[in-house]
């Protein structure tokens, strides 16, 4: 219920009801630069009460956990009376004691820490008129719990925070150190020379740049074991943070700019300037397992991990020749690049984007750049190959299966072209076929036809 007082709290009048029929867990109010009021809340097992499906807020229905039943959202208002929403944020992590700050570019950054043993996360939200558009839910590296399964409250991510005009985020966390982040909450660093924060903190910045953190100590103890009081820490923070870095990843093309190749370029910058002579780690792993199942290996455990050092322009390059000459249009791999500097280098770690790319790629102005390739076990032959070996399809289909090819079963020119295309390789069993992704029966050769890439 919303009430208003115009006499310092002596009398109140009712203005209306927010989310009538629900029992929202109201957490915090923040005002952003244009005066809009944001009410941070969550729907925490609502509705509940007499006659409801839940008799108490903490009643758990079958299949529920706190993670999947808590719906994190906020309301927005220009005048404090009329609200839009709920606008849902931070999905699937059960965030209910979280905060928001406004970035210098106008985006909203929502951050959820581990203060209530829920998974951490951060999310950019862009405002367009009365609508809010959610970005990706990102993780947190430094400052998050090192082992969330064993100690889900073991980090020191803040529960209350502000962002300065220089992009530095300053935060407080009950009974834990004050912390700062210069990379939008990805990494947090403890602030030296300050005590731990008071309980249930609310942090704000004064017009002169002073940081004010309000909180309390003690509690409502019936026997008076400890008196409760409201306190405030006042301090200033000098930005001596490691430089926040950004990594980009680009796939290279061949020298004639006709097609993408299995070589990549990463660019490492900080503050828009190149970061030189630093090692970045490229990681690559096939999308499909040998048995055709989808690989669930996290990128941090990728089978190929190779370092490269940035040059004077901040650029590092890498080549993956092991992905060349894979004659299967459905062979894909994931590649990303990360930066993990040593402590004391003056840089913060960062992740670049991950790309899912195919080993084979189409060529510009060439409808048939390959003699032959596989697609789900079907062998597609180019017009050039069929012109050179007119009965190539008949010869291959006469084999009847993907069994090893024996000498004499294919004429010499066809065998040579299939070997050159890496579709066959010689073993003690004969000439074995390349093991493609998701082979389907019957095994057969087909004409590429118009050269459409996806058959």
Instruction: Read off the pLDDT of residues 341-377 as tens digits, 9 standing for 90 and up.
Output: 988 888 988 899 999 999 999 999 888 999 999 998 8
> Quick check: 126 pLDDT over 60?
yes
Specify the CATH number for the domain of residue 342: 2.60.40
Residue 37 counted as domain residue: yes
CA 102 to chain centre: 20
Q: Which pLDDT belongs to residue 453?
A: 59
Residue 67 counted as domain residue: yes
**SS3 at position 385:** helix
> Quick check: 123 pLDDT over 50?
yes
Averaged pLDDT, 328-353: 92
Specify the CATH number for the domain of residue 114: 2.115.10
Give the number of residues written for the chain.
455
Q: Which pLDDT belongs to residue 455?
A: 41
pLDDT > 70 in the chain, percent: 99
Q: Which pLDDT belongs to residue 54?
A: 82
pLDDT bracket for residue 451 (50, 70, 90): low
Residue 181 counted as domain residue: yes
Last residue of a domain, one of 358, 389, 408: 358
> Quick check: 226 pLDDT over 80?
no
Q: Are residues 149 and 64 in the same domain?
A: yes
> Quick check: 178 pLDDT over 90?
yes
Q: Which pLDDT belongs to residue 25?
A: 87
Averaged pLDDT, 32-49: 88
Q: Which pLDDT belongs to residue 45?
A: 74
Residue 279 counted as domain residue: yes
Residue 298 counted as domain residue: yes
Q: Into how many domains does the chain fold? A: 3
Last residue of a domain, one of 201, 217, 235: 235
> Quick check: 328 pLDDT over 90?
yes
Q: Are residues 136 and 220 in the same domain?
A: yes
Instruction: Read off the pLDDT of residues 233-283 as tens digits, 9 standing for 90 and up.
Output: 999 998 888 888 999 999 999 999 999 999 999 999 998 899 999 999 999
Q: Which pLDDT belongs to residue 452?
A: 63
> Quick check: 437 pLDDT over 70?
yes
Last residue of a domain, one of 324, 358, 392: 358
Beta strand pairing call for 445-447 and 160-163: unpaired
List phi, psi (to 5°) of 384.
-65, -40
Residue indicated by tokens 């082979």:
439
Residue 321 counted as domain residue: yes
Give pTM, 2 decimals. 0.74
Residue 454 counted as domain residue: no
Q: Are residues 275 and 148 in the same domain?
A: no
Residue 6 counted as domain residue: no
Q: Which domain holds residue 391?
A: 372-447
> Quick check: 315 pLDDT over 60?
yes
Q: Are residues 197 and 60 in the same domain?
A: yes
Q: What is the DSSP string of 248-269?
A: EEEEEE-TTSSSEEEEEEEEEE
- What's the CA gap between 249 and 264, in Å, rounded? 7
């Amino acid at each position: 219920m919303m009430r208003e007082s115009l006499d310092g709290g002596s009398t109140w009048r009712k203005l209306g009801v927010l989310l009538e029929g629900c029992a929202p867990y109201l957490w915090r109010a923040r005002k952003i630069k244009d005066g809009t009021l944001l009410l941070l809340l969550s729907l925490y097992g609502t509705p509940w009460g007499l006659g409801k499906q839940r008799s108490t807020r903490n009643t758990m229905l079958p299949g529920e956990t706190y993670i999947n039943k808590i719906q994190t959202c906020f309301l927005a208002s220009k005048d404090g009376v009329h609200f839009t929403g709920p606008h849902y944020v931070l999905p699937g992590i059960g965030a209910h004691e979280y905060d928001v700050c406004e970035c210098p570019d106008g985006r909203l950054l929502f951050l959820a820490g581990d203060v209530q043993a829920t998974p951490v996360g951060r999310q950019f939200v862009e405002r367009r008129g009365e609508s809010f558009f959610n970005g990706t839910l990102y993780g947190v590296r430094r400052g998050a719990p090192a082992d969330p399964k064993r100690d889900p409250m073991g980090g020191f991510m803040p529960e209350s925070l502000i962002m300065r005009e220089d992009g530095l985020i300053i935060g407080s966390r009950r009974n834990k150190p004050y912390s700062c982040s210069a990379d939008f909450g990805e990494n947090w660093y403890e602030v030296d020379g300050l005590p731990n924060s008071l309980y249930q903190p609310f942090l704000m910045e004064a017009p002169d740049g002073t940081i004010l953190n309000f909180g309390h100590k003690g509690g409502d103890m019936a026997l008076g074991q400890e008196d409760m009081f409201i306190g405030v820490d006042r301090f200033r923070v000098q930005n001596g943070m490691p430089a926040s870095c950004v990594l980009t990843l680009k796939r290279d093309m061949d020298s004639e700019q006709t097609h993408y190749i299995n070589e990549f370029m990463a660019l490492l910058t900080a503050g828009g300037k190149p970061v030189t002579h630093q090692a970045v780690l490229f990681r690559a792993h096939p999308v499909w397992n040998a048995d055709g199942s989808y690989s669930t290996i996290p990128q941090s455990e990728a089978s190929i991990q190779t370092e490269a050092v940035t040059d004077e322009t901040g650029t590092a390059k890498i080549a993956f020749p092991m992905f060349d000459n894979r004659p299967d249009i459905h062979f894909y791999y994931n590649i990303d690049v990360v930066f993990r500097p040593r402590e004391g280098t003056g840089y913060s770690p960062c992740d670049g984007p991950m790309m899912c790319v195919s080993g084979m790629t189409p060529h510009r102005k060439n409808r048939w750049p390959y003699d032959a390739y596989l697609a789900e076990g079907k062998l597609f032959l180019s017009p050039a190959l069929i012109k050179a070996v007119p009965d190539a399809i008949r010869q291959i289909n006469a084999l009847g299966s993907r069994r090893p090819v024996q000498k004499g079963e294919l004429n010499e020119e066809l065998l040579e072209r299939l070997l050159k295309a890496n579709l066959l390789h010689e073993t003690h069993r004969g000439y074995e076929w390349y093991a493609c992704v998701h082979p389907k029966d019957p095994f057969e050769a087909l004409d590429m036809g118009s050269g459409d890439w996806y058959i």
